[in-house]
Amino acid sequence: MKRTLGACYYPEHWPEEIWAEDAARMVEAGLTWIRIGEFSWSKIEPNPGELRWDWLDRAIETLGARGLKVVLGTPTATPPRWMADRHPDMFAVDAMGQVRGFGSRRHYCFSHHGYFAESQRITRLMAERYGANPHVAAWQTDNEYGCHDTILSYSEAAKVAFREWLRAAFDGDIDALNLAWGNVFWSMEYHSFAEIGLPNLTVTEPNPAHVLAFKRFSSDQVVAFNRAQVEIIKAHSVAPISHNYMGRITEFDHFKVGQDLEIATWDSYPLGFLEDRVGATPEEQRTYARQGDPDFQALHHDLYRAVGRGRWWVMEQQPGPVNWAPYNPAPLPGMVRLWTWEAFAHGAEAVCYFRWRQAPFAQEQMHAGLLRPDSKDAPAIVEARAVAREMLDAPEVQPAQAPVAILFDYDADWAWSTQPHGAGLSYFQLILDHYKALRRAGQTMDILPPTTRDFSGYQLILAPGMMHMPDDLKSALAASGAEVLYGPRSGARDGHFSIPTTPLPPALPGLEVTVARVESLRPDMPIALTGGGAAHLYLEELEGSAEVILSTTDRAPVAMRAGRQTYCGGWLDAAGLDRLIETLGEAAGLALRKMPEGIRTRRTATEEFWFNHRAEPVETEVGLLPAAGVFRRAL
Ligand code: GAL
């Protein structure tokens, strides 16, 4: 597959007279893909049933006539104002019972039958009209499920649907639900599914089993909403269908949504993320303010490669300052080019910039584009053109299996956030910490879904924090022949969020370790390890006959190992994780490196890449890399 570039365009924002010139400039900049349509419902259907396709026909024709390929988005993230009159109860409701009404976007509840049908209707009309259009070469469903906290809705529609979901999950047996959830505690027992409410507005913490079930239900609602659109589009078009996911949004199972789509795409805003999603210290935020975190984007590239079963894009790439983070600096010169090449290094087929031209009006008027509002070039288009030139002699995209894998489980993230046991403890952060340690050791990784059972070809597999681990996963990992790392909290709960008592977790075949007690730690109370590094935030007391390979300075075991399996009961700091990865990496026979601060490398089947995320030149084993420098060589 050839690597390509693209941009997000909103023809409905601009006078029609400039579309043709825009298209010509897009081609001149080396772009291939133009995504349109995803917020245009009020222009397509200004009044119920009054359809205006003429402008969209001409926009697609104008782009297509110049050889550009269109990604057409279904407009269901922004239902028009009249929809609220037709379905006054279609809005999501937040945990405090407040309606999340009209006036921005994503104002709908996934469980509302009326809106679900409207979303099918507009998707069908669009697919009928454009399914065979030769310029529509890909589709996007909706836009960014989960953006603005929109997965969990405490509406009446959600309550009714949740009861039905529970009835099906427990085969209509309310006693089975009471037993699985432990409802005998605090007299929470139910006599029928119709008595069950949503887990909000309770006096204190609701039953965690109830909360976890509600999160699973809410994720399934997204899968169903998306699938309904996909089925309709597929009846009219053979073009691949995508959805654009986000950074650190875990409220629905992306692997399950991804099963129904051909391509996973995501929206990469490295500077915005650094400010509010990475968990960076103030010093890291200053150091990387204009470059973004060196690992956060890479992790998502690997995650979405897995969600897309090999096929993935960046649908929105930050081109300059954004509008939505606490602070919105401009990228260091060269970073737009670096981010683009980094996506290609992780196997992206396409990188599309958000957006073609900065909007002079409405919510995102402070968000840069490839062009300024006056249509002059903004700095990012110069870097996009440079990448387009460099791509001419680059090889095709060839996904290759990495030697190291990390299991990523959305369900585990919901379990951690349901009962973290300590402020700020998050599964996503635990995965990011492990991912960073592997990158500091110069490794190339794959992320795998929790349903993986065939691990052939991997030398090292990490399954930290996976709270519920089905038995067949445990045995597949034990039999994989790879070095495997578990813990903390791997296997700590059964499928309904209770602690298994026979035997105590983690109950891993061939690894004699049990967790006798757990504690969470204040961030300012790390517990030092013998030999360097510390456990911080969370620590388990381990028992068993396996060999102790890391311990506290008080000789309490922190990591224990038998055969090729290791269980680590502490959340380790960077120095501790580096030691653990070194031990396991050596045992796995990996070629380990000690990467200079801010330098990262990745290999594909055909190329090796090095990236300098620092604001100054850095000496590396492949030579001096300038600030924001990219080095690539064929293997
Ligand atoms: C994304 C979204 C776009 C735009 C962009 C701004 O989350 O999909 O529509 O809002 O952020 O950075």
Q: What is the mean pLDDT of each run of 10 residues along the chain (635 residues)?
A: 96 98 98 98 98 98 98 98 98 98 98 98 98 98 98 98 98 98 98 98 98 99 99 98 98 98 98 92 96 98 98 98 97 98 97 98 98 98 98 85 98 98 96 98 98 98 98 98 98 97 94 97 97 97 97 98 98 98 98 98 94 98 98 93
d(CA 622, CA 630): 11
Q: Note if 619 is an active site residue.
A: no
C-alpha distances in Å from residue 65, one per residue of 19, 56, 126, 569, 590: 12, 14, 20, 60, 50
Residue 20's pLDDT is what? 98
Pocket mutation for ligand 1, best pick of 147, 271, 313 (most atoms within 8 Å of C-beta): 147
* Partners of 406 in the β-ladder: 447, 462
Given the residues 38, 118, 144, 383, select the one marked as catalytic.
144
- Which amino acid makes up residue 30? G
C-alpha distances in Å from residue 451, one per residue of 9, 497, 562: 37, 19, 24
* Partners of 73 in the β-ladder: 140
Distance 360 CA to ligand 1 centre (A): 16
Residue 395's pLDDT is what? 83
d(CA 232, CA 79): 18
d(CA 80, CA 342): 38
d(CA 322, CA 365): 9
195 by Cβ neighbours in 10 Å (0-12 / 13-18 / 19+) ranks as exposed
Does the Cβ of 354 fall within 6 Å of ligand 1?
yes
Residue whose CA is at the smallest distance from ligand 1 atom 10: 364
Rg over alpha carbons for the chain, rounded to the nearest Å, is 25
Does the Cβ of 631 fall within 6 Å of ligand 1?
no
């288009």: which residue's tokens? 381
């069950």: which residue's tokens? 196
Beta strands in 363-501 (DSSP E): 404-407, 445-448, 460-463, 483-486
Beta strands in 403-510 (DSSP E): 404-407, 445-448, 460-463, 483-486, 506-508
* Burial track 324-359 (b if 16+ CB lie within 10 A, e otherwise): ebeebbebbebbbbbbbbbbbbbbbbbbbbbbbbbb
Pocket mutation for ligand 1, best pick of 144, 275, 358 (most atoms within 8 Å of C-beta): 144
Residue 494's pLDDT is what? 97
**605: nearest Cα among 350, 442, 345, 399:** 399
Q: Which 8-state DSSP code applies to residue 625?
A: E
d(CA 380, CA 382): 5
d(CA 573, CA 552): 13
* Partners of 547 in the β-ladder: 561
CA atoms within 13 A on the CB side of 208: 15
Q: What structural domains and CATH numbers belong to the chain? A: 4-150+221-391 (3.20.20.80), 156-210 (no CATH), 404-588 (3.40.50.880), 599-634 (no CATH)
Does the Cβ of 124 fall within 6 Å of ligand 1?
no
Longest dimension (CA), the chain: 76
Residue 398's pLDDT is what? 82
Does the Cβ of 367 fall within 6 Å of ligand 1?
yes
Pocket mutation for ligand 1, best pick of 35, 354, 356, 358 (most atoms within 8 Å of C-beta): 354
Peptide bond into 355 cis (omega under 30): yes
Residue 397's pLDDT is what? 79
Are 612 and 618 contacting, i.e. CB atoms less than 8 angstroms apart? Answer: yes
Q: Phi and psi at residue 153, in whole multiples of 5°?
A: -130, 130
Does the Cβ of 358 fall within 6 Å of ligand 1?
no
Beta strands in 215-338 (DSSP E): 241-245, 263-268, 312-317
Are 110 and 225 contacting, i.e. CB atoms less than 8 angstroms apart? Answer: yes
Does the Cβ of 143 fall within 6 Å of ligand 1?
yes
